[in-house]
Structure 1
Amino acid sequence: MANLDEISSSPQTVLESQDEVRIVGQYYDDKTARLVRKYGPGPRIHYHVGYYPSSETPLNAHDATPDAIRRSIRLHQEGLLRYAAKIWGAEHRLSGRILDVGCGLGGGSLFWAQEYGADVTAVTNAPEHAPIVEGFAQESGVGGKVRTLVCDAMHLPSDGGPFDAAVAIESSGYFNRPQWFERLARVLRPGASVCIEEVFTTRPHGADVWAEYFYTKPATVLDYAEAAKSAGFELVDEADATSETSPFWDESAAWTKAVLDSDSSLSAVDRRQLRISLMANQALGTEWRAGGLRLGFLRFELK
């Protein structure tokens, strides 16, 4: 997931050419330190929304310090993966050889390796992220179970397969979905799962709000299902967690405001970016609650 707190522009184009794919890789390389600041220190650094059970008493983020808010965000990001693991049956579907496509700084890759014993190929198009992921894997004691692969998701090499599953946590919005599913059909074994957690659009305004701040191509669940079916996959499981993830935007906005209020060392450029980010977080939270964006978990099987 692209983080609003690190975005200083609002790109409108979708990614189709190799030049644009390289731009995204460089974009993430350039912002690594800021990702670590908000979601670190590691080794399991996640780059996606969090899951907030309805039975839980929320943090009073408006009166909390940036560190306290960051700890809550990290806790609930881990909670999202644990929820995904439960509904995807990770103990038998994500415990073998898996692809973590769009792995970010490797938080999910480490999670699947540490919690379920998976042998993970962590796929990224940001070259500078690969040694960071490898370092975190060594630090976590799973250096032999996590390897990095720097490549475009639409050109996954077939020499490492067949894989038992592929996982994409808020990364598939960057892909050409028909090409991606076609490529996955060549590197996964029959019966393998493709597990996707993503932000889906339900109306045009929701798509606009999401796309204005991310290098991504928002789509509907139906768009995914049609692309998958054409490549030989069937949608077998679907779960909605929009309401359980909406508090993420409140905490993200609160973290941004707390940093603005407490960090006197910020440059003028940093302050401007954070103010833009604050407005964007608030806009996304509003659209989330209004029903224009949907957070869903999909699982496809290769026939």
Structure 2
Amino acid sequence: MTNLQEVSLSPLAALDPQDEVRVVGQYYDDKTAKLVRKYGPGPRIHYHVGYYPTSEPPLRAADATPEDIRSSIRVHQEGLLQYAAKIWGAEHRLSGKVLDVGCGLGGGSLFWAQEYGADVTAVTNAPEHKPVVEAFARECGVDGKVRALVCDANRLTVDDGPYDAAVAIESSGYFNRPQWFERLARVIRPGGSVCIEEVFLTRPRGADVWAEYFYCKPATVQDYAKAAAAAGFELVDEVDATAETAPFWEESAAWTKAVLDSDNGLSAVERRQNRISLLANQAQATEWLAGGLQLGFLRFEKK
């Protein structure tokens, strides 16, 4: 049987752990303005796929403006968090002290704080994101409930624990999973949850497509379960939402194409970056539909 981890072409593959953290942090610092442009203006900005539970077709560049498509993407990204909240029982599992690991620009952290009253520690390894998260929290009136922390997820401390739950929305693919779960075991209370929404591998081609563009090290659900079990966590819930999230890539590609087609004064460098993004989005869509990647929601419970 092919080992999916061995065939991954992640740009992080040849780096030592400290360099990985630096490279990923710089990658996201560099993307800040792009994320705001595509998924903003905020305050709840998300950098993850959207959830499309109905048969309504995604918007296409030929039929909508970039702003129309961006608006639809944002609605469905919020829909993904609403779906996660439902299947994870957020009203009692994510309403206390929550660790949002790999928080991006804080959209999820604000969601848990505003919708469920959680006290959230928003963890990022991108220094430029900390003031952005804090500013958005003030704008939402939850600055007393959301604290941004620049930290390597593999080096979390128990200083302000224990936490009732940890959440990772398409961020866990950047972590050393055994080390991360071992560290979570120190900061999550007994009976607490680790809630993960992630893209999991089912074949080598999917590994290459996902890893090359997003600078991560994806794995299988079985890899997660093994690492979690070694640290004292049990996989108690698994939900596959691959089909319901596939339209995201069509809309994401449509937004990029609409931007390229519009007369918006893009520089030559920006046009090249957008063309690369368009090709990457199309490749993700192909793997999603072909079964090379799986979008899943996992919940682990600390024994």
TM-score category, normalised to shorter length:
over 0.9
- Consecutive unaligned residues of structure 2, counting only runs of 5 or more, are 1-8
Other structure's SS at 2:62 match = helix
CA deviation vs aligned residue, 1:5-50 (integer Å, no higher than 9, x gap)? xxxxx96333542122112111211221111000000000000000
Other structure's SS at 1:280 match = helix
Contact 2:60 2:254 in 1 (8 A): no
Aligned amino acid, residue 11 of structure 2: Q
Q: TM-score, normalised by structure 2?
A: 0.95
Residue 66 of structure 1 corresponds to: 66
Other structure's SS at 1:166 match = strand
Aligned amino acid, residue 88 of structure 1: W
Residues 1:170 and 2:170 aligned together? yes
Residue 95 of structure 1 corresponds to: 95
Contact 1:200 1:218 in 2 (8 A): yes
In structure 2, what is the Cα distance between the partners aligned to 1:222 and 1:11? 20
In structure 2, what is the Cα distance between the partners aligned to 1:300 and 1:211? 24
Identity %: 81
Residue 4 of structure 1 corresponds to: none
In structure 1, what is the Cα distance between the partners aligned to 2:16 and 2:56? 42
In structure 2, what is the Cα distance between the partners aligned to 1:72 and 1:262? 18
Aligned amino acid, residue 126 of structure 1: A
Other structure's SS at 2:266 match = coil
Residue 6 of structure 2 corresponds to: none
In structure 1, what is the Cα distance between the partners aligned to 2:263 and 2:93? 44
- Consecutive unaligned residues of structure 1, counting only runs of 5 or more, are 1-9
Aligned-residue RMSD, C-alpha:
1.2
Contact 1:16 1:176 in 2 (8 A): no
In structure 1, what is the Cα distance between the partners aligned to 2:243 and 2:188? 33
Residue 13 of structure 1 corresponds to: 12
In structure 1, what is the Cα distance between the partners aligned to 2:188 and 2:16? 24
Residue 114 of structure 1 corresponds to: 114
Output aligned runs, 1:113-262, within 5 Å. Answer: 113-262=113-262
In structure 1, what is the Cα distance between the partners aligned to 2:17 and 2:34? 27
Contact 2:61 2:258 in 1 (8 A): no
How many equivalent pairs are there? 294
Deviation, 1:62, is 3.2
Contact 2:12 2:20 in 1 (8 A): no
Q: TM-score, normalised by structure 1?
A: 0.95
Deviation, 1:61, is 4.6
Segment of structure 1 superposing worse, 210-219 or 188-197: 210-219
Aligned amino acid, residue 182 of structure 2: E
CA deviation vs aligned residue, 1:76-116 (integer Å, no higher than 9, x gap)? 00000000000000000000000000000000000000000
Moved over 3 A (4+): 55-62
Aligned amino acid, residue 302 of structure 1: K
Aligned amino acid, residue 278 of structure 2: L
Deviation, 1:54, is 2.8
